[in-house]
Structure 1
Amino acid sequence: MPTSYVKRILDAQIYDLVVRTPIDEAPQLSLRLGNRVLLKREDLQPIFSFKLRGAYNKMLSLGKAELAKGVIAASAGNHAQGLAMAAQKIGAKATIVMPTTTPQIKVNAVKALGAKVILQGDSYDEASDYAQRLVIEKEMTYIHPFDDPEVIAGQGTIAMEILQQVPERLDAVFIAVGGGGLCAGMAAYIKTVRPEIKVIAVEAEDSACLDAAMKAGRRVRLKNVGIFADGTAVAQIGKETFRILKDTVDEVITVSVDEICASIKDTFDDTRSICEPAGALGLAGLKKYVGRTGAKEQTLLAVECGANINFDRLRYISERTEIGEKREAILAVTIPEEPGSFKAFCASLNKRNITEFNYRMGGASQAHIFVGVQVVSDDDRYNLVADLGDKGYPVVDMTDNEIAKLHIRHMVGGRAKEATDEMIFTFEFPERPGALMKFLTRLGDRWNISMFHYRNHGSADGKVLAGLQIPRKDRKKAHVFLDDLEYSWAEETENPAYQFFLS
């Protein structure tokens, strides 16, 4: 089955617009992991993403009549830019429907290439539905971002280049997956030409539609899709891409937000390039694979597939990097409320570097401190927690506590005796101008807001930690009310981060 794609890939006449991107060594990461690590630099395409390959290859396959109608696509950004540039090259009109949550840098880039942009819906799927309506109403030619043979073949040219550039031993290739076009095209070529090379698909944990499909043996639609890695935030793997991937992928690895952030930093350290979250998925999967298998002295390649990122997102990414790299432990520690106790605690760390320290007096005899401590691995973190416990310090490890990392670290010390009947909730809503005000309006004034923390991270979703004073008799009604808000929410009243520092 993949054999038919090899001819399509070899026949792709895209190189009057597409760049044959280099493969860079990653010397620092190679030394640290004990393997030869290579990066395929698709961030160096004219649109800073591999998506130009598939979009242009598809456009070249269209007849004059189809081009005359104008082309349309739904995209979170990179396919949009690829199609806009391809249309500009050919001289066709392009319309792009983008989710309202699309980073502004991608919206501006598409407009600069001469395409018409329509912002519609809060997700790729909503944008896609609207684009399909326009196809019917205006008889435009639809260019699918991933589930099209010509698009898949265009993306597969990356694999052709890799096997030409690395003719010697290559043990595994790590490829980001959203809808699956990139991975399907590459896997079809690699498994036909050099089947001994492992093809490993990598997804964000909160948008792992291929992993879900592989486990179910069929395509499934995710109920919720996280959009930190917005370039791969797809609820369902493509029909054609899954037909290819189910027989050609050796393994699917899922990675966390923290692991993605750490890989963005690793890429920067070795190449001085800054990739977008989806662009770092391949490397995050590579690192996780090495950590799990103990692979040594192998040649491993990750596709750095995109670099379209809003600059203000880097603040959030940098905060999460050290945790993702297993180099920081976030701890809640109880120390005596007495002179010299902070100094004694620091001495007990045995010269470890303190990366963060938050504290405010909260009682007469004990103090709860929120502290970040430098470590070198998860095992080192576990040993630190055990060592502090042996020295008499009650410790709660909050390194994996999302509430602690996103909110509590910015709020430590804010206690109020008047905050009776307080319940704690997290909310998520699409991040766009006016979104916070819209959220507050829908939340209404039914119950008093006793605590509120929101911080714009430059990402596609806004995250709020809120305290509401809800009498016990109203709590069942409150859950019904919150469900009707149509925002993602969760109760966090018993979360230890809240209990330690704000309760």
Structure 2
Amino acid sequence: MASIVQLEPQATDLPVTLEDVRAAHARIAPSIVRTPTLFSQTLSKLTGANVWLKFENLQFTAAYKERGALNRLLLMGEAERRKGVIAASAGNHAQGLAYHATRLGIPSTIVMPELTPTVKVTQTEGHGANVILHGETFDAAYAHARQLETERGLTFVHPFDEPDVVAGQGTVALEMLEDVPAIDTLAIPIGGGGLLSGCGVAARGLKPDMMLVGIQAELYPSTYAALKQLDLPCEGDTLAEGIAVKEPGHLTRRMVAQLVDDVVLVNERRLEESVSLLLQIEKTVVEGAGAAGLAALLTYPEMFRGRNVGIVLTGGNIDTRLLANVLLRDLARSGRLARLRVRLQDRPGALFHVARIFDEQRVNIIEVYHQRVFTTLPAKGLITDIECETRDSAHLDRLIAALRAGGYEVSPVELA
């Protein structure tokens, strides 16, 4: 686990001001959802902080990215609007830009890597964009988008590294502090840095003593490493793909360095746990990046204990199969879902006697897998994997103890 190193915000002029954020809010307010900021009693008890949640997953395209994209579109001149806009994105920026561009009658082109999941391509096209698939990586798609920008005279809308986009994202914090002035800490996910930069400007302008904490996935610690002068790799399959950015913006990196108190890292297990908790407790679906704020409170409880913390649920665009896997893995880690490997003798009634112990312990059997061939046991030996559902880890421990007391060799099949 990375250590917490306090940064020193510098009092210097920034390219985005509180007035810019306020102007952006007045501009975009009629066309976005004023998402609620609600107190979570259960998460507050769980983390030791007073937790308020900003439900940006309730935007029409299920992410806060609409705010910055719309502000940029509304500031374009007529000539620019007629020619259209272009962006490189395989995520929430693509959908937010496409949706509002189409609504305003502005042609939009989105360049995505060729390996982008079909559902994301379809969703973006459904919002009215012309989607171009190019290259195997985001960098290749980005380079092609910049080339088309020049060739076709289009306006490139960056997902985070331009002032108008940053000002639009800052409206998230503006609304939070209008709704709950008592908030004294903001825990904001950071990938490219647009949201944290904008929210930092708004928060510092309204409450200069606000505590600002950025959160990155451990697999992609780009801003964390830059600010703390560390050489860390940025790679791997993270659940928080929305903040999996290898290179933060030049503008946003400078703003974050001047605004934030700290940047911390969260691991994949905490991200999975947080997605699951938000669904179970708040009955709301968030993507991995949207759960980063809660993951930080769970990882660094001493940092937030007793504070009035605002968390932004930045988006809810998570693949349903991935969400199902996250939920099942969380059940397994909590002991409520388990797979036990039991060694049996291959004789009549062997499985019946094992099942009787499950019944005695009031454990529900979900699946049974027999293995007779691919095993190192003797020919009359048998391995049986039994998936089961228990009340909690203590209940699972009692079941394992009962099986061993019955003379069975049993071991749980652990998750990674």
**TM bucket by the smaller chain?**
0.7 to 0.9
Matching residue of 1:206: 219
Does residue 230 of structure 1 match 2:244?
no
Find the aligned partners of 1:181 and 1:43 in 2 and give their Cα distance: 17
Tell me the CA shift for residue 233 of structure 1.
2.6
Matching residue of 1:113: 127
Does residue 150 of structure 1 match 2:164?
yes
Counterparts in 2 of 1:195 and 1:352: CA distance versus 1, 3 Å: farther
- Structure 2 residue runs of 5 or longer lacking an equivalent are 1-11
- The number of residues matched between the two structures is 393
Does residue 271 of structure 1 match 2:285?
no
Matches within 5 A, 1:112-191: 112-168=126-182, 170-191=183-204
Counterparts in 2 of 1:105 and 1:215: CA distance versus 1, 3 Å: same
Kept in 1, the 8 Å contact 2:287–2:318? The answer is yes
Matching residue of 1:482: none
Matching residue of 2:7: none
Matching residue of 1:475: none
Which one is further off, 157-166 or 303-312? 303-312
Counterparts in 2 of 1:226 and 1:357: CA distance versus 1, 3 Å: same
Find the aligned partners of 1:259 and 1:355 in 2 and give their Cα distance: 27
Tell me the CA shift for residue 266 of structure 1.
1.9
Matching residue of 1:85: 99
Find the aligned partners of 1:273 and 1:174 in 2 and give their Cα distance: 18
The C-alpha deviation readout for 1:209-249, integer Å capped at 9, x for no partner, is 2223233269x883x34353332232211111111112322
Matching residue of 1:215: 228
Counterparts in 2 of 1:41 and 1:101: CA distance versus 1, 3 Å: farther
Q: Which amino acid aligns with 1:251?
A: D
Find the aligned partners of 2:355 and 2:170 in 1 and give their Cα distance: 59
Counterparts in 2 of 1:68 and 1:303: CA distance versus 1, 3 Å: same
Tell me the CA shift for residue 398 of structure 1.
6.7
Matches within 5 A, 1:314-325: 314-322=323-331
Does residue 6 of structure 1 match 2:15?
no
Matching residue of 1:460: none
Tell me the CA shift for residue 158 of structure 1.
0.7
Kept in 2, the 8 Å contact 1:145–1:151? The answer is yes
Kept in 2, the 8 Å contact 1:84–1:115? The answer is yes
Does residue 49 of structure 1 match 2:63?
yes
2:131 counterpart SS class: strand
Find the aligned partners of 1:211 and 1:400 in 2 and give their Cα distance: 29
Kept in 1, the 8 Å contact 2:72–2:165? The answer is yes
Matches within 5 A, 1:268-347: 268-290=279-301, 293=302, 296-322=305-331, 326-327=334-335, 343=354
The C-alpha deviation readout for 1:359-405, integer Å capped at 9, x for no partner, is 6353147969687886978xx89x99xx99x999999887462xxxx
Find the aligned partners of 2:242 and 2:148 in 1 and give their Cα distance: 23
Counterparts in 2 of 1:340 and 1:217: CA distance versus 1, 3 Å: closer
Counterparts in 2 of 1:271 and 1:131: CA distance versus 1, 3 Å: same
Identity %: 33
Tell me the CA shift for residue 18 of structure 1.
1.9
TM-score, L = length of structure 2: 0.78
Find the aligned partners of 1:14 and 1:251 in 2 and give their Cα distance: 30
TM-score, L = length of structure 1: 0.66
Counterparts in 2 of 1:295 and 1:56: CA distance versus 1, 3 Å: closer
Find the aligned partners of 1:344 and 1:111 in 2 and give their Cα distance: 52
1:308 counterpart SS class: coil
Counterparts in 2 of 1:8 and 1:351: CA distance versus 1, 3 Å: same
Kept in 1, the 8 Å contact 2:71–2:165? The answer is yes
Matching residue of 2:5: none
Counterparts in 2 of 1:344 and 1:155: CA distance versus 1, 3 Å: same
Find the aligned partners of 2:56 and 2:137 in 1 and give their Cα distance: 25
Q: Which amino acid aligns with 2:189?
A: A
Q: Which amino acid aligns with 1:6?
A: L
Matches within 5 A, 1:377-392: none
Two-structure CA RMSD over aligned residues (Å): 3.8
The C-alpha deviation readout for 1:106-143, integer Å capped at 9, x for no partner, is 33332222221112234332221221121122221111
Q: Which amino acid aligns with 1:30?
A: S
Counterparts in 2 of 1:118 and 1:351: CA distance versus 1, 3 Å: same
Find the aligned partners of 2:103 and 2:382 in 1 and give their Cα distance: 68
- Structure 1 residue runs of 5 or longer lacking an equivalent are 402-503
Tell me the CA shift for residue 272 of structure 1.
2.5
The C-alpha deviation readout for 1:447-485, integer Å capped at 9, x for no partner, is xxxxxxxxxxxxxxxxxxxxxxxxxxxxxxxxxxxxxxx
Greater length-normalized contact order (CA 8 Å, ≥ 6 residues apart): 2
Find the aligned partners of 1:73 and 1:342 in 2 and give their Cα distance: 63
Find the aligned partners of 2:113 and 2:341 in 1 and give their Cα distance: 43
Find the aligned partners of 1:330 and 1:256 in 2 and give their Cα distance: 23
Find the aligned partners of 2:258 and 2:412 in 1 and give their Cα distance: 41
